[in-house]
Structure 1
Amino acid sequence: MSFRVFSCAVCGRPFYEYDDPNPKTWLKNFRILFSGPNGVSVSGVGQHNELFLGYFSAHWEYTTRWDNPNTGALDGPIGVLTQSPISNRHGFLFHEACWSLLEKIYQPKPIPWSRLYDVCKSMPLSKRGAVNISWGHDYGGLLLSDNESFYPWQRRVFNMSVDRKLRLSASMDPMCGSNIEQLLHEQPQGIPFMDKDHPTAQVKRSVDVFSRLPPEIRDIIAYSLSVRDAANLRLASRSFFSVFANQQFWASRFSPDSDRSWLFELWNKRGYKAWRWLYRRTDDACLSPALRNRKRVWKLLEHLRDIVDLQWKENSQASISHVDIPGLKYRKITADVRLETPSDTRHYFDEGCRLLRQQNVTIPPQLSQVAVSTVQVGDIDYVSGMRFVSSEGTVTEFGYWSGKKIYSTDVTSLEGFNVATGTRGIQAIQILDEKEHTSQWLGSRDECPKTRYLVVSKPIRTIEAGFDACKMISLAVEYEDLGPIDRSIEQTKSLRDVGYWYPEVPGRDLYLNEYSNVVDTCYPDEHRPLCWISFGGPGGIYLKYVKGMTITFRGDILRCVEFIYEGIDIPIRNRRVGRRALRGYDKVFYFPIDGPGGEIIDAVEVMLANVDENEVHDSFRNPVLKAFRVLTNRGRRHLQPPLSFVYDELKVIKIAPGTTITGFYVGQHPSLGLTSLGVISEVVKR
């Protein structure tokens, strides 16, 4: 039996409020979206009465309720979230109120149960505190993210917000509509506003092209805009100056998919006259706690609907070989894909993504355009699908499409991709043609690792894309093998060209000195980002300001290396590698360096040790970094940490002759800390 506390897939609140004296509180009522012997179903409404009761039992028939005496005994428990399936049934929890709001959003259409289940299944689980689906957002401010301990693409551990006002509103039933009736009976307060017939609202037709449109057409245009866009339009065109005096404009704010769509009781309200006042009255600062929670949950549901409503483009064509064969070669990059096993309980699926679908597509011989569709999942935009358009106009689409966010570029040939990818999926793609000209990035490239591994500089014949339920999570290419010269290039390919680099791929003027365990632990078909800093700055311009370096350990785990400067403010991305939030039990070691006096680091030794694979639940490569020693040009050396420990291997990192160490690059694991260390050097003018 599990003794964890579980949360709603939508609102993030647990299914029990221990200090709530009401035994029928909305927080206890639930539905389960589950997969069973008969496919995907939704349970009836059950009630969870004990904080640490491990199982959720309900009637399996959707129309039933726990408090209906005519429905008989409950059908039995269903495994949820991190639990194992029970009677081949496993699913995800929703508050009854949150599910009812989702039905309102989809009204008059039904909720696509199977699609919703697949989307939930694609998301990792957060187990910090109550177990919930880790969408990558903060549940509308309810949770706080730890951005100090993790890079943006890694899992961000969430803690409960300390905002009492927000936590109070989040405990209120979002389906409660009594506050809305009270609002409608309040006496509207006058809002001074210029009347339509005011002289300054008159339009000179010679200076405003919109004045030629009939008023009804101008109204339709205004109704389709947000309030902010309508305000900007008023500034640009005096024909729309009086739109804010139009009560029908404000009434349109309360329609589905508009600013106040979460007030669904007002969608078909007739006879009401004070819409502009009501819009002001339902501003965030004026809302009751229950309506504030309604708005929070509604926005989360709209975000979820955008993901669920993605359309799958079935367009699988030629097969692709997963190994090199005569005449063809194969390369693949991937997000942090976690394989699902028959006995998988999802207990260890706390980061990364699931592979649910694959497609193989033949590249048209004569290209004219490449486009990608993107979808926002949590706080990040991901590539969800791709489209190739031939010069004859033939369109090949695959993956998931919504039509809301599309990036495109004109190309005539395809010989490679630069790819930006986090642990949960591919975020952006850049196209390279036969002359290695690069397109703009298609998607959101910021704050995630990039790789050049799919830049093949040969005609790409076929691509294979892997997907979860909403986004692309892997991309492979099959291209022509042009003979012995091409194979020799493959064998000498640099870590620069095969690794996943953050924040950018290092430039060609930087030497990576590939003699450490970084090379041993870097495999292109595994998502193992390399994070690097240039503590010496371009051409070593910061070296004379270096005052020292600090190394942070948590127990025997190396977490972070940071350089200290004197007389200059250096950006964090140049001076710190590794993420860490300092805890009281962390140990920080300091090594002074006399940069102003000309002292520099001129050698690095790394100590490596094998780690028991049972200590972590995702794949990694042994040995891993345990400590390192720096040596300076003054003969000083410092071991990090300065204490005795056991290691299995010592490596001395050799740098290119005539160069100076100006940077570090590391591999980082959420549990093991910094797992590898390499040095960057460059030619520095003295």
Structure 2
Amino acid sequence: MSSQEHLKSNNYYIVSDKEACMICGLWFNELTIGWRPWQGEVRAIYPTWDHKVKLTRAGHRLKWKNFVLDTDTARWRNLKERPEFTCQINDFYMFHDRCWNRLMEHFCPGEFDPVSLHQALKYFPRPPVPWPFYLSEPRQTVGRRKYGVFALPTIEQLMQPTKATPEPADWVAEGLAATYRNKTDLFSRLPIEICEIIAVHLPTRDFLSLRRVSRAMALIFTSMHFWRSRFFINEERGYLHPLIQKWTSEKGNSTIDWRLLYHCTSTLKCPIDFYFPIRVWESLRWLRDATLAIHTRTNENKKRKKHYRGHSMPPQFAGRALQHYHNTRFQNMHVDSVDVGPTLRKIAISAVNDGYQGHITGMKFIFDDRPEVLIGYSAPGAKVVTDNGVRGSIFKYPGVQLVVNITRLRGFTIFHNAHSIRGITVIRDSAHPEGFDCIDRHGIDYCYSNIYLDEVTKVIVTYDHFKLTHLGILGVMTKRDNREGLMDKRYNYLTPVLHS
């Protein structure tokens, strides 16, 4: 068969320059391949006509070629001519080969099931377009050109300045040295090795609480094996796994004080370097949890030959909502959450102009059956308005507080950059969402994100002493293909307001 006949007899899926990786959000753009070669290494997972799932091998995109996938053979091709017959595939998901390999590291041998992963991706929100900082050429710092957006500081940098291991208080030391055994302390009847295994499988916060009621568990606090387990890829400090892997292969485990490293990484001082790797790691953790839950539920359905309700998926998310996976915060940042439900009646959004630019400073949630919750702040004397047409000098100090009535909260549309949220629109069941933005559109890099669910159960807000920086939601949503058209038609709406 000639090459021309082959082009006419197969179905091809053409990769456009605007398609992005499901994990990192970076485009498969041929213009970036010159200085980021890994962005040209592509994988895909997609359904076939007979309801099966195909997973491609890594394909390499060449410049100035039509990069296409032969859907019959699951092979990538770089063609000079555009194929005569092309196809559109629903639920077609693409990854950089590097991002795919990072996802596979989260699965133990025998855990990964491509069909379950494909089902999980239907509930997975597409990542936001990265900040222009990440889309431009990498910074000329040590390691940045080689590792690009995934570069992390070294362990030496993370552990600076050097901190001495804290000594226990006198009353704690006396308690540890005591030989008296509490008869109600069931853990004291177990070997120390069993206690350590139990502690390894607990979140750190639960273990720290448990050691207050059990002298036997308090001894685990000095165990380096326990603190080393905090840095496993699916544990709290798993976002440092590539860094730890490289370090231990060169210098071994014994050269690190794991407890001190955990303490030093509880508060990070350089958010711009950590935001992207942590967000990617959070997404990979959620995908693994969702894939395993779907796989377990499917197997139970086959065994019982009926619908099995156990092993439900983790809550669906949108925006920056998965920080509970690592419990790490950035310096001078705070993370608060509020449970919302049918009794939520109003949301008040506060904004103020600091003389240079405008910021969203706080959100107040008003309920029917419980006290109102304020995250961030609202300046005393702020003008309270109920119209989304606020404009001009109204943002000058003490600013404005927009009150939005809620019948059913569905999410938000946010305008934001790498440092703050510059505008919020509340998505409701009504035809016209309400909100405002206070963006000076001259010389400021910003983008917008739709964070939307069918039912919102929790709102997570990250903020500093002056402004909101990130927003996320948890809840329930339908599959993305039933949702995106609704968002585009009804919810992609903002009222632009320039500060004066």
Shorter-chain TM-score tier: 0.3 to 0.5
1 or 2 for the larger relative contact order (CA 8 Å, sep ≥6)?
2
TM-score norm. by structure 1 comes to: 0.37
TM-score norm. by structure 2 comes to: 0.48
